[in-house]
Amino acid sequence: MDMVKYCLGRLGRALITMAIVLSIVFLLMRLLPVEGYFGDRSDAMNPKVKEQVLKSLGLLDPWYVQLKNFWVDLFHGDLGRSIVYRKNVPVMDIILPKAKYSFQFGMAALVLEKVIGLPLGVLMARYKGKALDKFGNLYILIINAVPAAVYYLLIQLGGSSLFGVSMLYKPTDPTSWILPTISLSLGGIASTAMWMRRYMVDQMNMDYIKLARAKGMTSSQVSFRHVLRNAFIPMAQSLPASILFTISGSLYVESLYSIPGMGGLLVTAIQRQDNTLVQAMVLIYSAISVCGLLLGDIAMMICDPRIKLTKKGGSR
């Protein structure tokens, strides 16, 4: 019961946060020079036509009226129609199919990331200072030091010529998933392994590990029964946000493989001053951030009995 109350409170605050974010972004978009709304032919347009365009977009009203209209529409569940990007198409019809692609690729990469990254981190911690650990650290270092663009290209070119898989994404060809998924997961594998190793090593140096050893447990029993779970908790917190954020896609990978995903859509929408599209995406992203944090905290609470979100202050 306390928990439900707590979640409702958090959600309430989340809604306020999102409203503030949305309003600020809404107003910022209105501060942009109006030339963007006329497209390429702005020089050739006469002032009357320009005014007509602005009027039809409702941009000539005072800002507070525009903001009010936006909120009223939003409460009716109407995010509006695209004004530039794909004129008059409802923004959700633009966003949802793209989000689906990004989510699918993102999830595939995320699964790969955790399936490889977590065990790698665990093994690196167990064999700290040995060859495996050094190899893993080298990998992490390379991934972090080399710009992603470089190895993305290498994977695309090398992968397609060596294994004969398609260089571009084709909806009909499942093998065309392989290269983009690998590209997407490499960075995540490195960071997952790095943090997992870090948390494992932290836990292994704790006093309770000494006691567990003194009980007579072998070091692999200690690793699996004590260290692993305790090290995983900090990882659990970021998991919900990682899952939700897969829908934002990757600008680079998606354009390399011409995947019709979300990557770059926000940038394009801002550049072309497609106000409604920007607003819808900001709404979605802020909702994801806020929910990701909340779910992360709940995940932590489930894993760690010491954490009580509902009670104030420590218990001792």
Partner 1 sequence: MAQYRRSTEKPILSVRDLVVKFKLRGKTLTAIRNISLDVYKGESLAIVGESGSGKSVFTKTFMGLLDNNGWIDNGEILFGGYDLAKFKNEKEWTKVRGKRIAMVFQDPMTSLNPLKTVGKQIQEAILLHSNISKAGAKQQAIKLLTDVGIDDAERRYKQYPHEFSGGMRQRVVIAIAIACNPEILICDEPTTALDVTIQAQILDLIKALQKKFELTVIYITHDLGVVADVANRIAVMYAGDIVELGMCEEVFFDPKHPYTWALLSSLPQLGIKGEDLYTIKGTPPNLYQTIKGDAFAPRNPQALEVDFVARPPYFEVTPTHKAKTWLLDPRAPKVEPPEYIRRLREQGVTFNG
Q: Which stretch binds partner 1 (CB under 8 A): 39-47, 105-113, 201-209, 241-249?
A: 201-209
| Residue (142 or 206) nearer to partner 1, CB | 206
Q: Nearest-CA neighbor of 239 among 305, 303, 304, 299?
A: 299
Alpha carbon distances (Å) from 84 to 15, 53, 142, 231, 276: 28, 12, 41, 49, 9
303 binds partner 1 (CB under 8 A): yes
| Residue (178 or 303) nearer to partner 1, CB | 303
CB of 204 to partner 1, least distance (A): 11
How many whole angstroms separate alpha carbon 127 and alpha carbon 107?
30
Q: Which stretch binds partner 1 (CB under 8 A): 7-15, 210-218, 244-252, 277-285?
A: 210-218
How many whole angstroms separate alpha carbon 290 and alpha carbon 249?
18
Q: Nearest-CA neighbor of 238 among 289, 184, 197?
A: 289
306 binds partner 1 (CB under 8 A): yes
230 binds partner 1 (CB under 8 A): yes
Q: Which stretch binds partner 1 (CB under 8 A): 32-40, 208-216, 265-273, 279-287?
A: 208-216
219 binds partner 1 (CB under 8 A): yes
233 binds partner 1 (CB under 8 A): yes
Residue numbers 17-46 binding partner 1 by CB under 8 A: none
User: Among 50, 86, 100, 213, which residue interacts with partner 1 (rule: CB under 8 A)?
Assistant: 213
Residues near partner 1 (CB under 8 A), total: 24
CB of 214 to partner 1, least distance (A): 4
Residues 6 or more apart whose Cβ sits within 8 Å of residue 135:
none
CB of 207 to partner 1, least distance (A): 4
CB of 315 to partner 1, least distance (A): 6
| Residue (100 or 128) nearer to partner 1, CB | 128
CB of 200 to partner 1, least distance (A): 14
Write out the residues near partner 1 by the rule CB under 8 A. Answer: 206-208, 210-219, 225-226, 229-230, 233, 303-306, 315-316
